[in-house]
Chains A and B, each alone.
Chain A
Amino acid sequence: MGTLSTYQKSIDASTKNLAEVRDFVDEHAKNHGFNKQQIADIRLAVDEAITNIIKHAYQQDDSRSIDIEVTLEENSICIQLQDTGKRFRMNKYSEPDIEKKIKERKRGGMGLFLIHSLMDSVTYTSNNGLNEMVMCKNRS
């Protein structure tokens, strides 16, 4: 199963670009035959990942950039996100205890759980200052 095609996009690390990235992955997932719920899952996972990069890796510095690559394979879509910000522990996540968070007046900490719940595979690597997250979803 080889790669059929790849599409790239680079954005400034600002939340104002979230809608544009959602539309970018939406378009390619739709063209690749994913159903509506799968497309909704992919949009949300990518949004949560980009939001994490903006808030944690770049700490809201919108002069930094994020590179996005969508790869379509025979039966799946993979989205790779690259940043050069502070690395964060992508593998440390658990099902959030919302009741506890409400009591402690905390919010956040839900994104990683959602990403792992919505996608079939998620990998994260960090080498020489380059952080790379790849999340994939199968079509069936």
Chain B
Amino acid sequence: MKNFDIDHRNSSNCDILDLHGELDAHTASELERALQDLIARDNIRIIVNFNKLEYIASAGLGVFMAYIEDVRKDGGDIKLTNMNDKVFNVFDLLGFPALYDIFEDESEAIQKFSNS
């Protein structure tokens, strides 16, 4: 049974990844590939929309940790949006809100990129 999926779209010069389902140590490699593909093509204004993500384990957070420096050193960013409370709680427990832009809505992330 497949319990994780990623859709990719473009909006306002940003690349948006829509996550669906459950992100754990098994499914994290799929997110890793999606981010690697974007970075390889120099698409580094990345928004990850968690609206349809039901669950995240630390292996999922690890993927964001692995690529954020590469993206930021070239002037890009990975911004995270639309998390449900349970998912946000995991990021919060580990102190991510101090290090990452986490927005309630995707439009705020697009706005922040347009201003930068």
Seen from chain A, the residues whose Cβ lies within 8 Å of a Cβ on chain B are 14-16, 18-19, 22, 36-37, 40, 43-44, 47-48, 51, 54-55, 95-96, 98-99, 101-103, 105-108, 110-111, 113-114, 117-118
Taking a contact as CB atoms under 8 Å apart, the answer to whether B86 and A40 are in contact is yes
Kindly report which residue of chain A lies nearest to residue B86, judged by CB atoms. A40
Q: Give the distance in Å from the alpha carbon of A14 to the alpha carbon of B25 in the complex.
A: 10
- What residues of B have a CB within 8 angstroms of the CB of A107 in the complex? 61-63, 65-66
Taking a contact as CB atoms under 8 Å apart, the answer to whether A18 and B25 are in contact is yes
Taking a contact as CB atoms under 8 Å apart, the answer to whether B26 and A22 are in contact is no
- What residues of A have a CB within 8 angstroms of the CB of B58 in the complex? 48, 51, 108, 110-111, 114
**B95 at interface by CB-CB < 8 Å:** yes
Q: Give the distance in Å from the alpha carbon of A94 to the alpha carbon of B31 in the complex.
A: 27
Taking a contact as CB atoms under 8 Å apart, the answer to whether B62 and A102 are in contact is no
- What residues of A have a CB within 8 angstroms of the CB of B68 in the complex? 102
Taking a contact as CB atoms under 8 Å apart, the answer to whether A18 and B69 are in contact is no
Q: Total interface residues on B, using CB and 8 Å?
A: 27
Q: Give the distance in Å from the alpha carbon of A99 to the alpha carbon of B69 in the complex.
A: 10
SS of B interface (majority)? helix
Taking a contact as CB atoms under 8 Å apart, the answer to whether B55 and A99 are in contact is no
Seen from chain B, the residues whose Cβ lies within 8 Å of a Cβ on chain A are 1, 3, 22, 24-26, 55, 57-59, 61-63, 65-66, 68-69, 85-86, 89-90, 93-96, 98-99
Q: Give the distance in Å from the alpha carbon of A36 to the alpha carbon of B55 in the complex.
A: 13
- What residues of A have a CB within 8 angstroms of the CB of B63 in the complex? 107
Q: Give the distance in Å from the alpha carbon of A90 to the alpha carbon of B45 in the complex.
A: 39
B89 to chain A, nearest CB (A): 8
Decide: A103 near B69, CB < 8 A? Known: A108-B62, A117-B93. yes
Beyond the given pairs A15-B24, A102-B68, 10 more chain A to chain B contacts, judged by CB atoms under 8 angstroms and listed by A's residue number, are: A44-B57, A48-B58, A54-B25, A95-B95, A99-B99, A101-B65, A107-B61, A110-B58, A110-B94, A114-B90
